[in-house]
Amino acid sequence: MDLTREEESILNGEKGAGAQKAMELVVALGKVYGAENLVDITSAHLSGASYKTIGDGGLKYLEDMVAGGAKVSVLSTLNPVGMDRDRWKEMHITPEFAEKQLRIIDLYGRMGIKTTCSCTPYTGDNVPKFGNHIAWAESSALSFANSYIGARTNREGGPGALAAAILGKTANYGLHLDENRKPTVVIDAEIDGSLFSHSLLGQAVGMAIGGGVPYYRGIKPTLEDAKTMAGAMAASGSVALFHVEGTTPEASKFDVSGLETIHIGKEEIQAAYDKLNTTDDIQLIALGCPHLTVKEVKDIAAFLKGKKKVNKDVEIWFCTSTSVRDQCPDEVRILEQFGLVLADTCMVVSPIEGTFQRTGTNSAKAGNYLPTLCSQKTMCRDISALMEVVL
Ligand code: F3S
pLDDT digits (tens, 9 = 90+) for 287-305: 999 999 999 999 999 999 9
Q: Is 304 exposed, middle or buried (0-12, 13-18, 19+ CB in 10 A)?
A: buried
User: For all residues of the chain together, what is the average pLDDT?
Assistant: 97
Domains in the chain and their CATH numbers? Answer: 5-178 (3.30.499.10), 182-275 (no CATH), 277-387 (3.30.499.10)
Task: Provide, rounded to the nearest whole percent, the portion of the chain with pLDDT above 70.
Answer: 100
Of the listed ranges 55-69, 111-125, 218-232, the one predicted with least confidence: 55-69
8 Å CB contact between 113 and 77 = yes
Element (H, E) at 362: none
**pLDDT tens digit sequence for 317-358:** 999 999 999 999 999 999 999 999 999 999 999 999 999 999
Reference 141, options 281, 289, 255, 266; nearest CA is: 289
HSE (CB half, 13 Å, CA atoms) of 298? 8
Q: Give the bridge partners for 343, in sequence order.
A: 320
- Determine the atom of ligand 1 nearest the C-alpha atom of 139: 5
Q: How far is the CA of 348 from the centre of ligand 1 (A)?
A: 6
Q: What is the pLDDT of residue 109?
A: 98
What's the CA-to-centroid distance between 253 and ligand 1, angstroms?
31
Task: Find out whether 378 and 274 touch, Cβ atoms under 8 Å.
Answer: no
Report the distance separating Cα 281 and Cα 317, nearest Å.
17
Would you tell me how many other CB atoms lie within 10 Å of the CB of residue 4?
A: 11
3-class secondary-structure state, position 106: helix
**pLDDT tens by residue, 248-287:** 999 999 999 999 999 999 999 999 999 999 999 999 999 9
User: Ligand 1 pocket test: which of 78, 116, 140 has the largest number of ligand atoms within 8 Å of its C-beta?
Assistant: 140
- Three-state SS at 247: coil
Which residue has better confidence, 17 or 207? 207
Ligand 1 site, residue 349, Cβ cutoff 6 A:
yes
Residue 16, pLDDT > 90, answer: no
Kindly give, in sequence order, each residue whose CB lies less than 8 Å from that of residue 299, ignoring residues fewer than 6 positions away: none
